Amino acid sequence: MLKKEFDFYLSHQQEFASKYLNKFLVIKGEELLGVYETQIQAYEETAKEHTVGTFLIQRCLPGSQAYSHTFHSRVLF
């Protein structure tokens, strides 16, 4: 499931955000494989050498805004 990769990102998030703000990071295991301008570029370049599903592509932002989303609904109960 890429939990190890996400935990690695979280443990280094502040450091990464100071260096790579708004970039897309590719993480495999506990290693930063690359830093890219776009998510598509990160995917295409990494998929050339690594099996899809074995690496994490994470947008680098401070705090939880990089990995949390809030969805609002107009439904009334």
Classify residue 50: in a domain, yes or no.
Answer: yes
Classify residue 40: in a domain, yes or no.
Answer: yes
Classify residue 76: in a domain, yes or no.
Answer: no
Classify residue 29: in a domain, yes or no.
Answer: yes
- pTM over 0.75, yes/no: yes
Confidence of residue 70 (pLDDT cuts 50, 70, 90): low
Structural domain for 41, as ranges = 3-66
Question: What would the pLDDT profile of 2-56 be if each residue is shown by its tens digit?
Answer: 999 999 999 999 999 999 999 999 999 999 999 999 999 999 999 999 999 999 9
pLDDT for res 74: 73
Q: How many domains does the chain have?
A: 1
Phi, psi at 34, each rounded to 5°: -170, 165
